[in-house]
Amino acid sequence: MTKIIEPKKQSNIFKRPSSETGIWSWITTVDHKKIGIMYGYAAFFFLLIGGIEALLLRIQLASPDNNFLSAAEYNAMFTMHGTTMIFLAIMPISAAFFNYLLPLQIGARDVAFPRLNALSFWIFIFGGVFLYSTFLFGTAGAPQGGYLAEEVSRLGSAPNGGWFGYQPNAGFKYSPGTAMDYWAIGLQILGIASLVSAFNFITTILNMRTKGMRLMRMPVFTWMTFAVSFLLAFSLPIIAIALFYVTFDRQFGTTFFLTEGGGDPILWQHLFWLFGHPEVYILILPAFGIVSEVLPTFSRKPLFGYPAIVFAGFGIAFIGFGVWAHHMFASAISPVAQAGFGLSTMVIAVPTGVKIFNWLGTIWGGKLKLNTPMLFSLGFIGMFVIGGLSGVTHSIVPADTQQTDTYYVVAHFHYVLFGGAMFGIFSGLYYWFPKVWGKMYNEALGKIHFWLMIIGFNLTFGPMHWLGLQGQVRRTWVYAEETNLGFWNLIVSIGAFIIALSILVFMANWIYSKRKGPEAGFDPWDARTIEWSIPSPTPVWNFSKAPEVKSLDDFWHMKYDEDEDGRPVRKEGADALLAELEEEGLNPSEEIVLPNPSYFPIILASGLPFLGYAVIYKMLPLAILGTLLILIGSFGWGTEPLEEEFMEDLENE
Amino acid sequence: MKLFKSKKIFLLGFIFIASCIEDAPLDSLSPAGPYARSIDELFWLTFWIAVGVFVIVQGALLFSVFYFKERESSPDPKQIHGNNFLEILWTIIPVLILAAIAVPTVKTIFDLAREPEDALKIEVIGHQWWFEYKYPDFGITTANVLVIPEDQPVRLEMWSNDVLHNYWVPKLNGKRYLVPGQTTYLNLQADSPEEFWAQCGEYCGLSHSKMRGRVISMTESDFAAWVANEQSYAEKELPESSLAAEGQLVYLNAGCTQCHVIDGVWDVQGDRIAPNLTHFANRSVFAGAALKNNPENLTKWLANPAEIKPGTFMPNLELTEKEINALIAYLGTLK
Amino acid sequence: MSVDHKPHPKPAQYVQIALVLGVLTAIEVALYYTEDFVGVFTDPLLIILAVGKFVIVVGWFMHLRFENSLINKFFTGGMILALILFAIVMFERAAANFI
Amino acid sequence: MSDSHSYPHEPTGVETRKLGFWIFLSTEILFFGTLITTFMIFKGRDFPGIKLTDVYDIPFTSVSSFVLLMSSLTMVLAHNALENNDQEKTRVWLLSTAMLGAVFLAGQIYEFTEFYHKGFELSSNIFSSTFYVLTGFHGLHVFIGVVLLLALWGIGQRQKGLSLDGGMNLEFVALYWHFVDIVWIVLFTVVYLI
């Protein structure tokens, strides 16, 4: 029998949550795995919404001078599509991976601060709900003094200043109503969530590593999480302050970004992209990590140039802070700045190239098992290379002044963020599916998903390069028939629906396989990293005792030796060892203390949207309510005894 | 092969080819002036290098997938952990390639930014959602259609009246922002007399997509004639009882003068928030170049401007059909 | 449980450090009033003094110089990053053509 | 936090919470960095009319800066006393730190009202906007610090007294407090003296 020490149910002040199943167990959980799963589902839900928004955009653009959406609706849709996909879909899906895998990969029992982890999840949820509540409560209209022919929007009013919120267009004068306030404050709340998790992950990686897990033995995914956390920790404060300024401008009549009052709209661009460019790497680095796990596993070869890949990842993260103004080449910046940022942007292609070549080196000479996760990873390389190369054309500043703000850029960053990040994420979702659910996904459906998606993806975003070069600007509600852009736009729209179809296949596979899939066993892939050395689905306590890591790809080296030819030979006792591991994984031999569930993260987080509404509607009672919830949350949190105190009590008893 | 015999495929193929050949007026790949050409050359240089890299990387990828695919007979591969020589090689080669591109890039950046000698200065002012042009040397104010002499550099001094805009004539040069409170500059030069399309690149609110423009380059003599005409005032005296005269009354009484100026009519010259209409009939387009200048379009526009350009600052003046017709007749006289 | 835990200063030392800080502040204020004599050196001197005070508080009061070098790296890393980024932004904005 | 017996402690040799807290402080640098940058950018611009810099009361602000500086001393003394497990002294120094902080805050409120009466509202001009937001953001930090100090003092009054183990203990509040102080060192120079 397992010996889990039950947390003490009664503390000094508040009753501890005690449900182990059912909805309350999820609401009060501090288990990184449950939080990871919740992150995943929530993010996927928002991914679907963002996808539907994209489809609406594509219907509108399918033919020239179309009238399917009004200008206001179109603008709201592209703003929300961008905001949703970045802040509510890809970032939290990455967070889902971080949460679930990070402690497993470094052999820890949980993250460094489990309650803080729950807090960031709930802040994310409340931030997302707050942002989307704009469809119910928000208002938007024509700029002050402007006229509209009809009602603003049949969909409810959503932010319409673009996900980048360029000032002064997103200011109160040109975007009146409350919708843009929802955007500014919503992002602020979501930023807090990411910031908190960044502290948590950095600390976890540094301090929760198991015995022998030196930094240079960590899996690449862990390394990329580490890099991403730094990017978050150092870039989010900048946007937080910039969003403060926006909120002040919109609510309290300041003029930080308004020229009339001496403000500077270009300063917003600097602050936004100081955050916004690291953000790009925040979105893509997790996928780099995932791919670096999948490729070696299914090539049956170690990762080629592990140190190079790690350093390149940090190189990208570091240089990523120094290239922000390449988003502003057409903006009011000097030629010197253009040249400088053009060069720094070129430089970032080097570590990215190093990664790509190392991945190619990994599969070269391997024994490639072309199953779904591997296909997505290979597809990732192929698509990301295209995105990377079009990225290099942006660093050629004069050429970029032709391409910027056109569909060429849209094509570029979808190749990077969809062909890159999303392909990597899907690869990861299939790869770790058996670890999370203990079941195997359906390979045939998985392959259909892949082929539909790669065809749909290229149909959608490939022609966009051409459209951009032919002069189709971004964020364009209609385009004139005379511009001769209709044909390719139609193809693009068809492609978008093929992607939608592929997502349906994915969902069917997921739902079906999670219930009816065959049992996966704990190491279905003959994998390399230690998260596969524990049973699937992962037991609540992860490792029944702290593993001791002796090398990079420790789990592989437990199973395989190398012969004189350098080829792997299965160790003699490997099967027995695995059986032993599984047995022990399910039946821990020592006492296990798990972090206690808590009500307070969700209570604390629930205060933030009320503060947001209070700022927008200038309602004091809401502000008091919000503050009260935050105070109750923090007080309860602070007075809730820690696990160590339980331990002491138990020992005393 | 049956597939290719079907008519639909043929039709699609035809449309495909047609769409590639047909001229796109905003095409950034068919430069018509030295500035755009220098950008174009740089783009193609980078493009072909990128194609080279693309072919190598995708080739290696596809080769690996087919050649190293798991087969029943395939043994477990050698465990290779890396190769320092290769790492250095694929770090240095991209560096060298990029350095090679960097040199012309930096040179072109500064070439494009330099103010050309004896350039014609034109001020471009962005409004939601149209471009205003001023020729300080000639005292001309116009809108939507920028007229430039051929084969002569033009220096645009640009700013915005409200939000950020982005001035773009793809065949003549790249984009440059129009920023409130700051001046930005852009050089244009066209090889020959031609009409070019312009478009606002930066998202600037509801009707961003309809913030378009035309740039017309003219021979030197045509340009001189155009300048002379623009400098003159429109006819003040219109034949009484003509439709145009009625239209002038509508113009004066319906509220148009709140925002528009027709030099020499009713009020003094001056800046107003809406386009200067003094030589309206000479412009091929109106309403931020979203519409061609013809009576049908004018009727639609005057009946309800916000229908055409959502968010527009031109109100619906509730004109009757008769008033609209008169107004159109009057606008037609503004040559 | 720091491995390389150097002993923290004694209260008397803390008071001495605080005195130094107070004197530095007094010099700062004095510099403000003597700007006319000191001329162009005022601003650099003020910055040097502020940095000095900063380092003293971080090093001694926050015990950074007694801490593991890891923490040190984070903090100085953040500082340097911020300084570089914001210096670029400031220079870039100072070069803009305002109407 | 969730370590059981076989789990090793802190391979970096830095206590986990302290590590997390220092990372938080490193991030705060970027917060204030952004605010200060904005301030510097707008400080360089000329605006018509009376300037906020003309109504600065340097002697007054110098005194309150000194007060905040000295609160760092009392804070470090409190920390020191707790390291020697002298509960009485710890409480005294804690309370004096909170008091000094409160004095500083009161000074700031006084300064804000003075400026306000001289016609500088939050939205009067860009310079007063940046001034209020920057110093106000710092003031908010001081306020949170005072609340934390008082909470600690309250906990110290209980039977068990304070300790340097466990949750949000005195060490972190001290770090936070010193951080707020060093930010003011920079602000005093950047905002008032230069």
Q: Tens digit of pLDDT for each residue in A323-377?
A: 999 999 998 888 999 999 999 999 999 999 999 999 999 999 999 999 999 999 9
Amino acid at A460: T
What is the percent of chain D with per-residue pLDDT over 90, rounded to a whole number?
Answer: 55
**With contact defined as beta carbons under 8 Å apart, do B82 and A216 qualify?**
no
Q: Which residues of D96-111 are buried (b: 16+ CB within 10 A; e: fewer)?
A: bbbbbbbbbbebbeeb
Mind listing the pLDDT tens digit for each residue in C43-95?
A: 889 999 999 999 999 888 888 888 888 888 888 888 898 899 898 888 888 87
A473 touches chain B (CB under 8 A): yes
Going from the C-alpha of A437 to that of each of A160, A377, A515, the distances in angstroms are: 40, 21, 9
B with D: touching (≥3 Cβ pairs within 8 Å): no
Residue among A234, A270, A332 minimizing CB distance to C78: A234
Q: Which residue of A has its CA nearest to B313?
A: A146
Instruction: Name beta bridge partners: B182.
Output: C98
A-to-C residue pairs, Cβ atoms closer than 8 angstroms:
30
The CATH architecture that domain B120-218 belongs to is Sandwich (2.60)
- Which chains pack against A, by 3+ Cβ pairs within 8 A? B, C, D
Cβ separation C4–D13 shorter than 8 A: yes
Q: What is the mean pLDDT of residues A223-248?
A: 95
Asked if the model's pLDDT at residue A535 lies above 50, the reply is yes
How does DSSP assign B76-132, residue by residue? PPP-----HHHHHHHHHHHHHHHHHHHHHHHHHHHHHHSPPTTPEEEEEEEETTEEE
What are the boundaries of each domain within chain A?
A: 11-28+597-653, 521-585
Closest CA to D122 of A247, A271, A627: A247
Q: What is the mean pLDDT of residues B259-265?
A: 84
What are the boundaries of each domain within chain B?
A: 120-218, 243-332
> Which DSSP state fits B71?
-
Cβ separation D126–A109 shorter than 8 A: no
Closest CA to A301 of A374, A217, A380, A365: A365
**With contact defined as beta carbons under 8 Å apart, do A598 and A640 qualify?**
yes
Closest CA to A560 of A552, A550, A551, A570: A570
What is the percent of chain A with per-residue pLDDT over 70, rounded to a whole number?
Answer: 95
Question: Looking at domain D16-45+57-193, which of 1.10.3720.10, 3.30.460.10, 3.20.20.140, 1.20.120.80 is its CATH number?
Answer: 1.20.120.80
Q: What is the mean pLDDT of residues A587-601?
A: 83
Mind listing the pLDDT tens digit for each residue in A259-303?
A: 888 888 999 999 999 999 999 999 999 999 999 999 999 999 999
Cβ separation C98–B182 shorter than 8 A: yes
What whole-number distance in Å separates Cα of residue A52 and Cα of residue A58?
10
Q: Mutate which of C62, C65, C93 to test chain D, going by most D C-beta atoms within 10 A?
A: C62
What's the sign of the alpha-carbon dihedral C61, C62, C67, C70? negative
Confidence at D103, pLDDT banded by 50, 70, 90: very high
Closest chain C C-alpha to A277 CA, distance in angstroms: 13
Residue among C70, C81, C93 minimizing CB distance to A234: C81
**With contact defined as beta carbons under 8 Å apart, do A136 and A156 qualify?**
yes
What whole-number distance in Å separates Cα of residue D121 and Cα of residue B315?
36
Instruction: Name beta bridge partners: B309.
Output: none
**With contact defined as beta carbons under 8 Å apart, do A328 and B176 qualify?**
no
Tokens of A461: 């975003």
**With contact defined as beta carbons under 8 Å apart, do B248 and B265 qualify?**
yes
CA torsion angle for D80, D81, D87, D92 (degrees, to 10)?
-100
Q: Which residue of B has its CA nearest to C98?
A: B182
Closest CA to B227 of B157, B147, B285: B147
Q: What is the mean pLDDT of residues A48-64?
A: 96
What whole-number distance in Å separates Cα of residue A533 and Cα of residue A559?
10
Position B88 scores a pLDDT of 94
Q: What is the mean pLDDT of residues D157-177?
A: 80
Q: Which residue of D has its CA nearest to C46?
A: D189
Closest CA to A194 of A93, A271, A316, A44: A93
Cβ separation D16–A208 shorter than 8 A: yes
Closest chain A C-alpha to B191 CA, distance in angstroms: 19
Tokens of A592: 């296990």
Bridge-based pairing of strands B140-143 and A568-570 is: unpaired
- A200 Cβ contact partners less than 8 Å away, ≥ 6 residues apart: A111, A112, A113, A116, A117, A120, D20
Closest chain B C-alpha to C96 CA, distance in angstroms: 7
Mind listing the pLDDT tens digit for each residue in D6-55?
A: 566 678 888 888 888 999 999 999 999 999 999 988 886 756 666 777 78
Tokens of D164: 């340097």
Chain mean pLDDT for chain D: 87
User: Cβ-count burial of A526 within 10 angstroms (0-12 exposed, 13-18 middle, 19+ buried)?
Assistant: middle
Position A8 scores a pLDDT of 47
How does DSSP assign A50-102, residue by residue? HHHHHHHHHHHHTSTT--SS-HHHHHHHHHHHHHIIIIIIIHHHHHHHHHHHH
Q: Which residue of D has its CA nearest to A596?
A: D2
Closest CA to B94 of D51, A388, A648, A519: A388
Cβ separation C86–D34 shorter than 8 A: yes
What's the sign of the alpha-carbon dihedral A454, A460, A464, A467? positive
C99 contacts on B by Cβ (under 8 Å)? 159, 181-183
B163 touches chain A (CB under 8 A): yes
C with A: touching (≥3 Cβ pairs within 8 Å): yes
Find the range with the poorest average confidence among A228-237, A589-598, B132-141, D141-150.
A589-598
What whole-number distance in Å separates Cα of residue B96 and Cα of residue B90?
10
Instruction: Name beta bridge partners: B134.
Output: B123, B141
Q: Mutate which of C27, C61, C68 to test chain D, going by most D C-beta atoms within 10 A?
A: C61
Position B98 scores a pLDDT of 93
Closest CA to D93 of D173, D181, D186, D165: D173
Position A262 scores a pLDDT of 83
Q: Which residue has the tokens 């072109």?
A: B108
Closest CA to B61 of A413, A384, A465: A384
The SS3 assignment for D28 reads helix
A233 contacts on D by Cβ (under 8 Å)? 23, 26-27
Closest chain C C-alpha to A270 CA, distance in angstroms: 7
What are the boundaries of each domain within chain C?
A: 9-66, 68-99
A215 touches chain C (CB under 8 A): no
Asked if the model's pLDDT at residue B34 lies above 50, the reply is yes
Q: Mutate which of D26, D89, D183 to test chain C, going by most C C-beta atoms within 10 A?
A: D26
Alpha helices by DSSP H, A149-219: 179-207
Q: Which residues of A408-417 are buried (b: 16+ CB within 10 A; e: fewer)?
A: bbbbbbbbbb
Q: What is the mean pLDDT of residues D83-110?
A: 93
Amino acid at A386: I
Cβ separation C92–A206 shorter than 8 A: no
Q: Mutate which of C19, C53, C89, C97 to test chain D, going by most D C-beta atoms within 10 A?
A: C53
Tokens of A581: 């591991």
Instruction: Name beta bridge partners: B165.
Output: B178
Confirm whether B120-218 and B243-332 share one CATH topology. Answer: yes
Alpha helices by DSSP H, A364-470: 372-395, 397-403, 407-416, 423-437, 443-469
A266 contacts on C by Cβ (under 8 Å)? 93, 96
**Residue A560 C-alpha from the chain's centroid:** 34
What whole-number distance in Å separates Cα of residue B233 and Cα of residue A162?
43
A109 contacts on D by Cβ (under 8 Å)? 2-4, 7
Q: Which residue has the tokens 């007294």?
A: D161
What whole-number distance in Å separates Cα of residue A517 and Cα of residue A525?
16
Cβ separation C97–B181 shorter than 8 A: no
Cβ separation D193–C75 shorter than 8 A: no
**Residue B157 parent element (H or E):** strand B154-160
What whole-number distance in Å separates Cα of residue A339 and Cα of residue A582?
58
Position C4 scores a pLDDT of 47
Position D125 scores a pLDDT of 82
- Which chains pack against C, by 3+ Cβ pairs within 8 A? A, B, D
Amino acid at B264: G
Amino acid at A341: F
Instruction: Name beta bridge partners: A519.
Output: A439
Cβ separation A565–B53 shorter than 8 A: no
Question: Model ipTM?
Answer: 0.92
Closest chain D C-alpha to A218 CA, distance in angstroms: 13
What whole-number distance in Å separates Cα of residue A394 and Cα of residue A390?
7
Q: Which residue has the tokens 């360029």?
A: A166
A143 contacts on B by Cβ (under 8 Å)? 128, 162, 205-206, 311, 313
What whole-number distance in Å separates Cα of residue A265 and Cα of residue B182?
10
- A436 Cβ contact partners less than 8 Å away, ≥ 6 residues apart: A33, A37, A100, A536, A537, A538
Closest CA to B180 of A475, C97, A245: C97
Asked if the model's pLDDT at residue B15 lies above 60, the reply is no
Mind listing the pLDDT tens digit for each residue in B61-81?
A: 999 999 999 888 888 899 988
Question: Looking at domain B243-332, which of 1.10.357.20, 2.60.120.380, 2.60.40.420, 2.40.50.100 is its CATH number?
Answer: 2.60.40.420
Tokens of A17: 């949550």
Instruction: Name beta bridge partners: B217.
Output: B148, B194
Length of chain D: 194
Closest chain C C-alpha to B203 CA, distance in angstroms: 22
Chain mean pLDDT for chain A: 91
A321 contacts on C by Cβ (under 8 Å)? 81, 85
Cβ separation B184–C99 shorter than 8 A: no
The SS3 assignment for A144 reads coil
Q: What is the mean pLDDT of residues D142-148?
A: 94
